[in-house]
């Protein structure tokens, strides 16, 4: 039986506050930093713009949607994810060597960093807090199905689960399966379905209307 401290759900739950709660906390922190002269409001606005538009899992979602709609790009992505992402203008520090892992009907991939929190920043942004915690780093290896269930993903026993350990030299992300019911969708529409959790492998991509 898993101890309370070893469960992932409470860790993942840290990211499930309402938007209003998160906005209030961020505003309070911003006010304190500006009041103490630690940082200016213009710098905060700049960093907010960067993380909203230039860094984060929305970048990975663009890569996934491109692979879903362009077979030639998908082949290049699976052959050399770093170069394929650079084609779209995404790359840099913490993403010098990346590998994309393709989910199929019979194989599902999940990513962890057992030593620290190595993560493909250029496509997924900053790692979530739970990705860094010992509970995730240890259980992802010995009980990946249990971890995925706590994130809401319950795979059939017929699906093989492969866990990949990222490092400072090599970082992985998942190319999830394209959901049914999206034939004819544009890349922009598909991007909206792709989540950070799906590209780490703890979640899946929901079909439209699911």
91 token code pair: 């790359």
3 catalytic per annotation: no
Phi, psi dihedral angles at 204 (to 5 degrees): -120, 180
116 catalytic per annotation: yes
Residue 146 exposure: Cα atoms within 13 Å on the Cβ side: 15
166 token code pair: 């990222």
Which position among 117, 138, 166, 167 bears the catalytic label?
Answer: 117
Which residues are CB-contacts of 75 (< 8 A; sequence separation ≥ 6)?
A: none
Q: CA 34: distance to chain centroid?
A: 31
Which position among 49, 116, 167, 207 bears the catalytic label?
Answer: 116
Q: Which residues are part of the catalytic machinery?
A: 113, 116-118
């Amino acid at each position: 039986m898993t101890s309370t401290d070893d469960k992932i759900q409470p860790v993942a739950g840290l990211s499930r506050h309402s938007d209003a709660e998160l906005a209030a906390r961020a505003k309070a922190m911003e006010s304190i930093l500006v009041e103490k002269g630690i940082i200016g409001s213009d710098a905060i606005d700049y960093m907010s713009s960067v993380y909203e538009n230039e860094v984060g899992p929305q970048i990975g979602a663009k890569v996934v949607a491109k692979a879903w709609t362009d077979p030639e790009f998908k082949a290049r992505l699976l052959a050399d994810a770093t170069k394929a992402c650079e084609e779209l203008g995404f790359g840099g520090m913490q993403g010098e060597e990346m590998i994309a892992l393709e989910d199929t009907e019979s194989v599902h991939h999940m990513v962890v960093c057992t030593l620290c929190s190595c993560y493909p920043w250029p496509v997924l942004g900053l790692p979530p807090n739970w990705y860094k915690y010992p509970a995730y780093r240890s259980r992802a290896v010995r009980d990946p199905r249990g971890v995925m269930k706590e994130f809401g993903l319950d795979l059939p026993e017929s699906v093989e689960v492969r866990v990949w350990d990222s490092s400072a030299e090599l970082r992985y992300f998942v190319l999830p399966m394209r959901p049914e019911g999206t034939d004819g969708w544009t890349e922009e529409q598909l991007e909206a379905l792709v989540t950070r959790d799906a590209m780490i492998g703890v979640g899946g991509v929901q079909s439209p209307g699911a």
